Amino acid sequence: MFTFLLRRIASGVALVFVTATVTFFLTAMTGSDPARRILGPTATLDEVAAKQAELGLDQSVLQRYLDWLGGVLHGDLSTSWFTNEPVTTLVWAALPITLSLVVSAIVLTAVISVVLGVVSAVRGGWLDNAVQVLSIVGFAIPSFLVGLLLSVVFAVQLGILPAIGYTPFSVDPVGWLTSITLPAVALTVGAVATVSTQTRGSMIEVLGQDYVRTLRSRGLPTRSILLKHALRNAAPASLTVLSLQFIALISGAVVIEKVFGLNGIGQLATSAASQGDVPLILGVVLLVVTLVVLVNLLADLLLGWLNPKVRIA
Amino acid sequence: MRRLIGAAVVAALVAGTAACGGSSGGAASGGSTDSFTLAAITPPSSFAIGAMASSGPEDPYYQAVYDRLLSVGTDGQPQADLATEWAVGDNGMSLDLTLREGVTFTDGAAFDAAAVKANLEKAKAAKGEAGSALGAVQSVKVVDPTHVSLKLNRPDPGLTAALARSSGYMASPQALDSADLATQPVGSGPYVLDSKQSTAGSVYVYTRNEDYWDKEAFPYDTLTIRFLEDMSATVNGLRSGQIDATATQTSDLVAAAEQADLNVETFFGGGLDGMYLWDRDGKLAPALKDVRVRQAINYATNRDAILESVKGGLGTVTSQVFPEGSLGYDEALDDAYPYDLDKAKQLMAEAGYADGFSITLPDFSPVYPDEQAAMTELLKSINITVEYKPTTGDQVVGSIMGGQWPLNYFTLTTSSPYELIGLTMTDQSPFNPFKNSDPELAKLIDAAYAATGDAQDDALQEVNKYVVDQAWFAPWDAVESAAITADGIDVTPVPGVSVPPLSAYQPAS
């Protein structure tokens, strides 16, 4: 297990390094002119040239890369070109927002999907059909539309939840919950559609196996068969989909954060990309790739806990 | 696994219950003076003196903490602020300022002539837009603690307008050279940035500066400026009472706000929108050297249709370069080029271009799809065909200044007619990329810079008339901004400034 962990961590670090390097050189190839953007339209060409030198853009791409990499290894992600804030400050400010959203959405997705998946697999009939139809609808409706609808109904019309903004948990736990409820629910709809379908399929497959029939014939209560035996064997497939969903939700959060005026990682990424704020783009990429690596690692560990055969492999 | 699921269910239930019970979302502040929340379409770039744009959507972030030497009155003209009096002397070669007494920065430093000198020199050295606007300032002389004299290297009637914008921001001289000033401002303004309550790049919370010299002008105890990029989020924020006001130049947002029954106040935002015909010497497009071709483009421009279909009606059609209410405005020039396609074609034929010609222009369609479509169509109507070259947003201005395009769609926002002249009409102007030099125009510009008092208006009108006759530009409209407010908030916008100043927002009377 320890070797397995070490191997996964090493490959994760390599992935983070390669992705950040590729991103660096891609941003260097865009030929954009951040100095002009910073100084505004009335700055002269000489002033722009001076600003480019200040940003280090007069140096070779390789030199800039080595400088940046050296900074990263010392924990310095440089400073945003456009807001003059340290990239670490901006990223740490945005991370709790996105994590709150995505983690809440993934918890909601897991709970709802397991309930829907198990119920429709066991009951079948009209209930199963209804869940299937709801899944298709969930797939079809874009999350931003769900978000807009939720915002109009619960924030604007009913006034029971905020339409925009984020309250940190440390400031006000209840405020935190109210601020992330609508966006988390908006994110959850699509994810539930995917994961519940997967859970239903796995459950149907597992429930048809011989050992389940044996358990039934030995008179074990249905509840015990379902939750203790069948669900445990059906869970790995759902967990894999859930971990992929976690990564998809980080992408989905980009749009949802906009709809709810949450300045999380998605908002940071789109602003940085549209402005050509290279240090910030690189900071966001580093963070997101690290998150993805960590989530995959966690999913592997959970799979190992659920299924000892995976641990041995 | 069962325990895991159980814990998850409990967490979800707790979340749901708490969500239903919470009510912090609908904390409307309209009408009261406890707090005021403004939505801005950008976070602040830097609080360092001289680093910020001349004027624009970032203004409120800075105006909260910094006073300016002058401010802009509701008539669009400079008015007293930290400088209580000002006088142009020495045939326009100096500007003398009398400073307000008894003002202190929030770190305890006194506001005096030495502070003004340090700030102006800092802004000039920073080489941003604020510094560029101080280009005429050769030196700043401290006469005594309450008087400074700015020595100029050329007359600059637009200097007072610049001092009423970002060039006039005053930070504590003790903090001026600190790198921290970029994110931790120290000024003498009505509010103090509360870094602990703020989130960098996202939400900026300001508390009242209790020692402020003009507290009545800023009725709210707490100011929050929230960076909100998305239109729906802004409208929903305004409707739910989480936001009190915002300013925009986006017609879609104005339409959405009107539909939601929010208060919308439109006003001239300081921008001249349209086609800028740069290549008047015909270096890239020889046809543009002929004034008849440039006039034909003007006659082929259906300004009313463009304003309605492209700009959503948010603007005032014009054929001239100076806006209504500004010095140099001439009402007669508004209709200098009525839409007349026959006349446009006739002028093209007279110039020998009945069959038109081809030009290569920057592709702005990712940012301005409707504007580009309108321009393509109007040029095509007089047989000018356009080939578009991909250009990223941040390359646009550099490529214009570098003389890569014979003409293009553009919006230039300026604070005074003198600034527009300085930016576009002299042979040194950055937005005169081919350095067109016209002795007649140069003479008129010299006269406008030398004129004082009422004579300024006449002299600027002459400049205006000349460039309109010579069709240096093909303007479409004077850009309008809109201030959108929730119930309980009144706003008095300032014409020529795209975002209302903070003091413009008051509880509804």
Per-residue pLDDT, B6: 40
Query: Does residue A294 contact residue A5 with C-beta atoms inside 8 Å?
Result: no
Task: Give me the percent of chain B exceeding a pLDDT of 90.
Answer: 68
Strands (E), B70-201: 70-72, 78-80, 83-89, 94-99, 137-144, 147-152, 169-170, 191-193
pLDDT band at residue B2, thresholds of 50, 70 and 90? very low
Per-residue pLDDT, B294: 97
Bigger pLDDT: B123 vs B4:
B123
Return the number of other C-beta atoms located less than 10 Å from residue A254's C-beta.
17
Q: Does the pLDDT at position B12 exceed 60? A: no
Helices vs. strands in chain B: H and E counts, helices first: 15, 21
B chain contacts of residue A235, beta-carbon cutoff 8 Å:
1
| Structure token digits, residue B156 | 């600059």
pLDDT, one tens digit per residue, over B147-156 is 999 999 988 8
Torsion, CA B175, CA B180, CA B184, CA B188, rounded to 10: 10
pLDDT band at residue A311, thresholds of 50, 70 and 90? low
Bigger pLDDT: B394 vs A11:
A11
Per-residue pLDDT, B13: 35
Query: Does residue B176 contact residue B122 with C-beta atoms inside 8 Å?
Result: yes
pLDDT, one tens digit per residue, over B47-68 is 999 888 778 889 999 999 999 9
When pLDDT is averaged across residues B485-502 and rounded to a whole number, the result is: 91
A chain contacts of residue B53, beta-carbon cutoff 8 Å:
40
Task: Give me the percent of chain B exceeding a pLDDT of 70.
Answer: 93
d(CA A7, CA A313): 13
Q: Is the dihedral of CA A65, A71, A77, A78 positive or negative?
A: negative
Strands (E), B166-312: 169-170, 191-193, 203-208, 222-227, 245-248, 263-276
Q: Does the pLDDT at position B8 exceed 60? A: no
Interface contact A114-B5, CB threshold 8 A: yes
pLDDT band at residue B434, thresholds of 50, 70 and 90? very high
Most confident of A192-196, B292-296, B320-324: B292-296
pLDDT band at residue A52, thresholds of 50, 70 and 90? confident
Q: Does the pLDDT at position A309 exceed 70? A: no
pTM: 0.82
In this complex, is the C-beta atom of B273 within 8 Å of any C-beta atom belonging to chain A? no
Give buried/exposed letters for A48-77 (b at 16+ CB in 10 A, else e): bebbbeebebeeeeeebbeebeeebeeeeb
Per-residue pLDDT, B9: 37
pLDDT band at residue B14, thresholds of 50, 70 and 90? very low
When pLDDT is averaged across residues B502-507 and rounded to a whole number, the result is: 94
Helices B2-21, A87-123: inter-axial angle, 10-degree rounding = 110
Bigger pLDDT: A39 vs B134:
B134
Among B12, B45, B241, select the one facing A38 at the smallest CB separation.
B45
In this complex, is the C-beta atom of B239 within 8 Å of any C-beta atom belonging to chain A? yes
CB contacts < 8 A, A to B, total 202
What ipTM was estimated for this complex?
Answer: 0.78
When pLDDT is averaged across residues A72-89 and rounded to a whole number, the result is: 89
Listed range (A87-101, A243-257, B268-282, B434-448) with the worst mean pLDDT: A243-257
Question: A45 phi and psi, to 5 degrees?
Answer: -65, -35
Interface contact A108-B201, CB threshold 8 A: no
B chain contacts of residue A114, beta-carbon cutoff 8 Å:
5
Interface contact B22-A175, CB threshold 8 A: yes
Chain CA centroid to CA B178, Å: 28
DSSP secondary structure code for residue B109 in this structure = P
pLDDT band at residue A215, thresholds of 50, 70 and 90? confident
Per-residue pLDDT, B394: 65
Per-residue pLDDT, B355: 95
Q: Does the pLDDT at position B380 exceed 80? A: yes
Q: Return the residue matching tokens 């203004």.
A: B59
d(CA B16, CA A177): 8
Domain A87-312: top CATH class: mainly alpha
Q: Does the pLDDT at position B7 exceed 50? A: no
Return the number of other C-beta atoms located less than 10 Å from residue B490's C-beta.
15
Query: Does residue B293 contact residue B353 with C-beta atoms inside 8 Å?
Result: yes
When pLDDT is averaged across residues A120-147 and rounded to a whole number, the result is: 87
pLDDT, one tens digit per residue, over B196-247 is 889 888 899 999 999 999 999 999 999 999 999 888 899 999 999 999 999 9
d(CA A140, CA B405): 45
d(CA B63, CA B499): 11
Spell out the domain ranges in chain A. Answer: 2-73, 87-312
Interface contact A156-B12, CB threshold 8 A: no
Torsion, CA B100, CA B101, CA B105, CA B108, rounded to 10: 170
Structural domains in chain B?
270-480 (3.10.105.10)
Bigger pLDDT: B396 vs A171:
A171
Listed range (B6-20, B27-41, B63-77) with the worst mean pLDDT: B6-20
* CB contact set of B391 (below 8 Å; sequence gap of 6+): B362, B363, B364, B399
Query: Does residue B504 contact residue B436 with C-beta atoms inside 8 Å?
Result: no
pLDDT band at residue B24, thresholds of 50, 70 and 90? very low
Per-residue pLDDT, B33: 81
Beta bridge partners of B473: B276
When pLDDT is averaged across residues B56-85 and rounded to a whole number, the result is: 93
Interface contact B45-A82, CB threshold 8 A: yes
pLDDT band at residue A1, thresholds of 50, 70 and 90? low
Interface with chain A: mutation pick from B124, B178, B198, B229, highest number of A CBs within 10 Å: B229
Interface contact B202-A94, CB threshold 8 A: yes
Question: Mean pLDDT, chain A, as a whole number?
Answer: 87
Nearest chain A alpha carbon to B398: A36
* CB contact set of B108 (below 8 Å; sequence gap of 6+): none
Query: Does residue B417 contact residue B326 with C-beta atoms inside 8 Å?
Result: yes
Chain CA centroid to CA A189, Å: 15
B chain contacts of residue A151, beta-carbon cutoff 8 Å:
232, 236
